[in-house]
Amino acid sequence: MSSTEAFSPDEVMTVTAARQLRDGAVCFVGIGPPSEAANLAHLTHAPNLVLIYESGTIGTSPRVLPLSIGDGELAETAVSVVSVPEIFSYWLQGGRIDVGFLSAAQIDRYANLNSTVIGPYKRPQVRLPGAGGAPEIAAAVGEVLVMIRHHRRAFVERVDFLTSVGFGRNGGGRSGLKGAGPTAVITNLGVLRPDQQTKELMLTSIHPGVAVSKVLEETGWNLKVADELSVTPPPTDLELATLRDLRHRTREAHQSWKPASG
């Protein structure tokens, strides 16, 4: 089960993201791939992972993946449910969160994210949903994990709008912010991490069966590759079985559900 044929790119992406979460961490989760990764971690190596959703549900244990950030099961299984103003003030801004997930339509070499517009703000070609909780997650959590599918339209030289800050337009943009910022960008092709000094994202791990040239081709800037490029350890049998079982349960519960990163 560890051959490259045995799992899909989105499965390795989810499994790799899940592995970043240490047991006992307090994790601010969004819907879609982050929720899948966090719940996978919770069900495998991190049973004491604390899952917090921005709907105000703290310490949830959903049996199936929620379809929305405010599914009833999140409230029913939570240790505590608080208001939205409180989740952002006392919990996120209050520095109670170890790790947060973000995604976006565009990312640049300093891990700045755009989920607002493609094109100019006043006359966009594409109006995206907007910031949501992202700007303050980016600023306040201990570390940020970014999950984003790898293609040239997403990995751009310059984001059209800076919705949430990675390391700023020139890599020096975190002064005054508490968290460490993005520590890993997990894609369906590999993992990028910021250079310790320059904060520029480098390819540090490549998923099994993916060519470096493919990653470079799908990146819209001149992506640096780490001297010690590793190959992502493939999903274990347990990880794959748990993920697939979770997806199966979710599909049974929500007939309209499709794997968010699939």
Restricting to residues 171-210, name those near other proteins by CB under 8 A: 173-174, 176-178
**Whole-angstrom Cα distance, residue 262 to residue 246?**
14
Nearer to other proteins, 130 or 262 (CB): 130
Structural tokens at position 138: 């980016």
Nearer to other proteins, 222 or 255 (CB): 255
Instruction: Write the CB contacts of 184 (distance below 8 Å, at least 6 apart in sequence).
Output: 20, 145, 146, 191, 192, 193
Report the DSSP pairing between strands 106-107 and 113-114.
Answer: antiparallel
Residue 95 binding other proteins, by CB under 8 A: yes
- Segment contacting other proteins by CB under 8 A, of 12-20, 158-166, 191-199, 209-217: 158-166
Closest CA to 149 of 206, 107, 194, 209: 107
- Closest distance to other proteins from the beta carbon of 236 (Å): 27
Q: Which of 12, 17, 26, 192 binds other proteins (CB under 8 A)?
A: 26
Of the pair 12, 141, the CB lying nearest other proteins is at: 141
Dig out the tokens for 212 from the structure: 């470096």
What residues numbered 124-153 form the site for other proteins, per CB under 8 A?
124-136, 139-140
Record the tokens describing residue 169, joined without a space.
């337009």
The count of residues interacting with other proteins (CB under 8 A) is: 71
x/- letters, 236..255, toward other proteins (CB under 8 A): ------------------xx
Separation between Cα atoms, residue 125 and residue 216, nearest integer Å: 26
Positive/negative CA dihedral, 114, 112, 191, 218: positive
User: Which range, of 87-95, 144-152, 204-212, 217-225, touches other proteins by CB under 8 A?
Assistant: 87-95
Stretch that binds other proteins, among 11-19, 86-94, 206-214, 243-251 (CB under 8 A): 86-94
